[in-house]
Chains A and B, each alone.
Chain A
Amino acid sequence: MTEFDPGFSLPDLDGLLRQFPSGRPSLVCFVKEDCKTCNLAMPVLEAFHRAFGKRADVLLVGQSATGNATLKERHALTMPVLDDGDCSVSFAWDFEVVPAVFWTDGEGKVGTRFEGFVRSEWQALERQIGDALDLGLSEVNWLDYPEWRPGCGSRHLDPEVNERLRATASNNPMRARRIEIASADDEAEFMFDQGFSDGLPLVPPTPERVLRMLAGTKRGAQDIVAVVPPNMAPASVEKVAINAVMAGCRPDYLPVVIAAVEAVCTDEFNIHGVTATTMGAAPVMVVNGPIRHRIGMNMKLSALGAGSRANATIGRAVRLVIRNIGGARPGGVDRSTLSSPLKFTMCFAEWEEGSPWSPLHVERGFQVEDSVVTVFAMTSGPVLIVDQESRGADQIAGSLGLGLEGAILSKIHRMPMDALLVVCPEHIRTLTSEGQYSKDRLRSRIQQVTSRPLREMVANEISGAGIPRAAADKMSHEQLETLAPKFASERNIHIVVAGSEAGKFSAAFHGWVTGPTGSMSVSRKIETS
């Protein structure tokens, strides 16, 4: 809460505005109609009004317009009943239980306050007011009242009311421009019209939803997560949260989105180039560590496909950040010739428990208990690699290699380009059927089975791609017989495990230009509580 400002202006049941403070001492009591204890206190307040009303204001502040009218009729009240139906004054006065009683001076400074019904407190208040105003006591017969009755929770603390009040309070952490969508406008259509969407409907990022989303991180709402190309716009945690709401994320996904935004906005990953290339590249995000389980990420059946909210919306949120904050849109900076569904979303978790290897993040230098997101710039995939027949470890490793050979163009080898191989559990079983089979051995096998003599890469009548004819003519026979594996380096081959336990179908994502002039995979640790 910011410094308490007690001032308010609320209408009574006749619609007349009552100001507080009024210059007179005041007894302000917050009530709600369906609270038994409030109803118990009502005759007491009415008696106080009759006894002290000529020298002080006795104000009943009710928390619903219809309830206020009911209270007035039920208890034949003559004191002013003020309408705090939206509970904004209750919120500002910051109490928990009704009835909530405040005795103030003429400037609104609170002298005595209490909540609920403790008879002795109310009696003491009667004496305090009587003495202060130089008046006698009221006509309340205290013996008619119980010694103690608990009050009820104030309506401003009801979750849906409180969320709205916090979102609109002057000290709310949100600073983004507020856009009012006219009642005649359909909010989904409006957001399409504004260009906020990737082509699919969005969840409207209301202040309440964004506030809820911000609760998913300990970072301050105005902390800058990254500067997002191509507009080089600073992305605050709040702006990331807004896009996460639109994508459909739950608040506990937000730390993953933040880490992924940090990762793609590094110079190494080069999201500008990834976005702009006519090849149509996009980030593929792999999540490792305990957070996979905590937020319910899918790493098994259908891990790379539809159906998992976490997988789908985390990836989508990152895309929306790049689109909306970075300003990268198809036809603008995004010049993809065909583009790819990867540009909607592609995020999944590694099934570490189903893997015989160190998880991806451990391989990249993190602790096993860390939660980490790794981003790869990929142009296509998942491309299926089918082998239902191989029973030997080297055989299945060989098939995985042959499956990767088609990346970009099967003819082209020694490519300085990453690939992300997702090995399914059944292929893992075959791979390890004869004992340990390390990732490095698999990488070597991939390079081995994809090695072809350079002469097969020379431009010919079937395909003009590859080594130009003129260059080939200058090469010796030995040079042309030199074997070239698919990838320039084994380091270009990244391997994770995911998928259901049934089915001999692995998959690969094919990369973009890998290296300092293109994109390099980046890992970022995810904030966890």
Chain B
Amino acid sequence: MTLMILDPTDERVPVERQISKRNGTITGTIGLLDISKPRGNVLLDELERLLVERLPHVKVNRYRKPTFAKPCPDDLRGTIKSECTFLVEALAD
């Protein structure tokens, strides 16, 4: 069930989730999350190869959701949050 609410503002700003601010540098650990849709791993394999090649100082971790049809399990979410600075999620086939 979704909940419908009415906009309390003057409606001059679009209602949307904002993406996090980018600081222009990549450090720490990048997580690559395969949501287990077919061929998501192909995309992520290639992305991992490029990241390792271009950003040798960065660590890359791989994760996989049990199924793409359901939200990411809390445990996996917690693991990713505690281990990663960035996350790339391969959404579709």
Contact = CB atoms under 8 A, between A and B. Distances in A.
A472 B7 CA distance: 57
Interface stretch (B11-19, B20-28, B34-42, B48-56): B11-19
Contacts of B4: 178-181, 206-207
Contact of B3 (A187, A194, A231): A187
A132 interface: no
B2 A180 contact: yes
A221 B11 CA distance: 17
A242 B6 contact: yes
A181 B4 CA distance: 6
B10 to A, nearest CB: 3
B9 interface: yes
A320 B9 CA distance: 9
A246 B8 contact: yes
A194 B6 contact: no
Given A177-B15, A194-B15, A183 B8 contact: no
Contacts of B3: 180-181, 187, 204, 206
A176 B4 CA distance: 12
A343 B5 CA distance: 25
Nearest to B10: A233
Contacts of A194: 15
25 contacts: A177-B6, A177-B7, A178-B6, A179-B5, A179-B6, A179-B7, A179-B15, A180-B4, A181-B2, A181-B5, A196-B9, A204-B5, A205-B8, A206-B4, A206-B6, A207-B6, A228-B10, A231-B10, A239-B8, A239-B10, A242-B7, A320-B8, A325-B8, A327-B9, A327-B10
A401 to B, nearest CB: 43
Most buried by B among A177, A187, A205, A320: A177
Contacts of A178: 4-7
Nearest to A208: B4
Contacts, number: 73
Contacts of B17: 193
A182 B71 CA distance: 13
Most buried by A among B6, B15, B71: B6
Given A180-B4, A196-B8, A320-B8, 6 more contacts: A179-B5, A181-B2, A181-B3, A191-B5, A231-B12, A246-B8
B1 interface: yes
Interface in A196-225: 196, 204-207, 210
A490 B24 CA distance: 60
**What DSSP secondary structure best describes chain B's contact surface?**
loop
A179 B18 CA distance: 15
A176 B2 contact: no
Most buried by B among A179, A182, A193, A205: A179
Interface string A126-164: 000000000000000000000000000000000000000
A174 B4 CA distance: 13
Contacts of A180: 2-4
B9 A324 contact: yes
A243 interface: yes
A231 B9 CA distance: 11
Contacts of B2: 180-183
A338 interface: no
B21 to A, nearest CB: 14
A204 to B, nearest CB: 5
A462 interface: no
A184 interface: yes
Contacts of A246: 8
A180 B6 CA distance: 9
Contacts of A204: 3, 5
A233 B17 CA distance: 23
A378 B90 CA distance: 54
A193 B20 CA distance: 12
B65 to A, nearest CB: 14
Contacts of A228: 10
A176 B7 contact: yes
Contacts of B8: 176, 196, 205, 239, 242-243, 246, 320, 324-325
A348 B12 CA distance: 33
A320 B10 CA distance: 12
A182 B73 CA distance: 18
Interface in B42-82: 71
B29 to A, nearest CB: 26
Nearest to B9: A324
Contacts of A179: 4-7, 15
Contacts of A233: 10, 12
